[in-house]
Amino acid sequence: MTLSTIHCPALFITAPGSNHGKTTITAALARYHVEQGRKVRVFKSGPDFLDPMILERACGLPVYQLDLWMMGETECRRLLYEAALEADLILIEGVMGLFDGEPCSADVAELFSVPVMAVIDATGAAQTLGALAYGLANYRPGLKFSGVLANNIASPRHNEMIMQGMPPDLCYFGGIPRDNRFVLPERHLGLVQAEEVLDLESRMSAAATAIAVTGLANFPESVEFTAPEQETPPQLLSGIRIGVARDTAFSFIYAANLDVLRTMGATLIFFSPLADKALPDVDSIYLPGGYPELHLQTLQDNPSMKAALQMHFQQGKPIYAECGGMLYLLESIVDKAGNRGEMVGLLPGHAIMQNRLKGLGFQSAPMAGGVLRSHAFHHSLIETPLVPIAFGERVHNTSAGEAIYQLNRLTASYLHCYFASNPTAAAQLFLP
Helix (H, G, I), strand (E, B) or coil at 84: helix
pLDDT digits (tens, 9 = 90+) for 160-190: 999 999 999 999 999 999 876 767 766 555 6
Per the annotation, the verdict on 417 as an active-site residue is no
Phi, then psi, of 253 in degrees rounded to 5:
-140, 130
- Are 5-226 and 241-428 the same fold in CATH? yes
Superfamily of domain 5-226: P-loop containing nucleotide triphosphate hydrolases (3.40.50.300)
pLDDT for res 205: 84
Q: Which residues of the chain have pLDDT under 70?
A: 1-3, 180, 182, 185-191, 194, 196, 198, 357
Q: CA 45, CA 12: separation in Å to the nearest integer?
A: 9
Distance set, CA 193 to CA 38, 96, 288 (Å): 25, 19, 15
- If you count DSSP H runs as helices and E runs as strands, how many of each does the chain have, helices first? 12, 27
* pTM for the structure as a whole: 0.92
Parse the chain into domains and list their residue ranges.
5-226, 241-428
**3 state SS for 282-293:** CCEEEECEECHH
Of 8, 59, 76, 323, catalytic: 323
Distance set, CA 60 to CA 40, 185, 234 (Å): 8, 20, 31
DSSP code for 112:
T
Topology of 241-428 in CATH? Rossmann fold (3.40.50)
Q: CA 146, CA 268: separation in Å to the nearest integer?
A: 42
pLDDT for res 79: 96
Please, which residues have CB within 8 angstroms of residue 429's CB and are 6 or more apart in sequence? Answer: 284, 318, 320, 367, 368, 369, 411
pLDDT for res 194: 63
pLDDT for res 50: 84
pLDDT for res 1: 39
